[in-house]
Amino acid sequence: MSGKRYLDAKEEAARIGCSVRTLERACADEGFPFIRFGRLRRFDPDLTDQYLAARTYNGRAAERSRRAA
């Protein structure tokens, strides 16, 4: 059985192409989705992708950089 992989802030910031501080601000101010495991903040890549796809800027969906893994 394969468990779901949740990312920490550093991994998620690198995945979407922003700084950890920008990601932290987005969580606090803009409702960026995260999951709490006790004191730890983790990110579900599926929820993040849905959130970014739903955001618009000047009528265009938010673009996110894709980095090769």
**What's the total number of domains in the chain?**
1
Distances (CA, A) of 69 to 1, 11, 20, 30: 23, 11, 18, 27
Domain for residue 62, yes or no? no
Look at residue 65 and tell me if it is in a domain: no
Residue pair 17/67 in contact (Cβ under 8 Å)? The answer is yes
> What's the pLDDT band for 60 if we cut at 50, 70, 90?
low
59 token code pair: 């009528």
Instruction: Give a yes or no: residue 67 inside a domain.
Output: no
pLDDT digits (tens, 9 = 90+) for 13-47: 999 999 999 999 999 999 999 999 999 999 999 99
Does residue 3 belong to any structural domain of this protein? no
43 domain-assigned: yes
**CA geometry: angle at 22 spanning 53 and 47, to 5°?**
30
Quote the domain boundaries for residue 48. 9-55
Judge residue 23's burial from the number of C-beta atoms within 10 Å of its C-beta, 0-12 exposed, 13-18 middle, 19 or more buried: buried
